[in-house]
């Protein structure tokens, strides 16, 4: 099926693109749902679980991390991961060292 786009306005082209993008997303969701159904049916037929076949989840986020640093002027803490909090940067600017802010 070919669509002659040479006579379409910008507004019509945007609408066509929006509809086509939506349809592509729906096709992807349908395909994934079909594959999931096949995998679930196979696992059920074999009497095993996904975790038994592939093991426990590895990598990615593992949950909360214990705090490593404490704000001396309050109750704020920081694990040492991610962007440094403002209170941490302010303390360093005020002359404190990282080791001074460690929770002991």
pLDDT digit string, tens, across residues 14-68: 999 999 999 999 999 999 999 999 999 999 999 999 888 888 766 666 678 899 9
Burial string for 41-67 (b: 16+ CB within 10 Å, else e) reads eeeeeeeeeeeeeeeeeeeeeeeeeee
Q: How far apart are CA 68 and CA 82, in angstroms?
A: 12
Q: How far apart are CA 14 and CA 20, in angstroms?
A: 10
CA-CA-CA-CA torsion sign (7, 13, 16, 20): positive
Q: Give, as one character, the DSSP assignment of residue 56.
A: S
Q: What pLDDT, on the 0 to 100 scale, is given for residue 65?
A: 87
């Amino acid at each position: 099926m070919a669509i002659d786009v040479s006579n379409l306005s910008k507004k019509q082209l945007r609408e066509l693109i929006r509809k086509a993008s939506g349809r592509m997303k729906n096709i992807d969701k349908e395909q994934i749902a079909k594959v999931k159904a096949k995998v679930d049916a196979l696992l059920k037929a074999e009497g095993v679980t996904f975790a038994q076949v592939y093991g426990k989840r590895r990598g990615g986020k593992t949950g909360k991390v214990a705090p490593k640093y404490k704000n001396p002027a309050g109750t704020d803490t920081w694990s040492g991961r991610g962007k440094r909090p403002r209170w941490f940067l302010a303390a360093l600017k005020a002359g404190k060292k990282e080791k001074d802010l460690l929770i002991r």
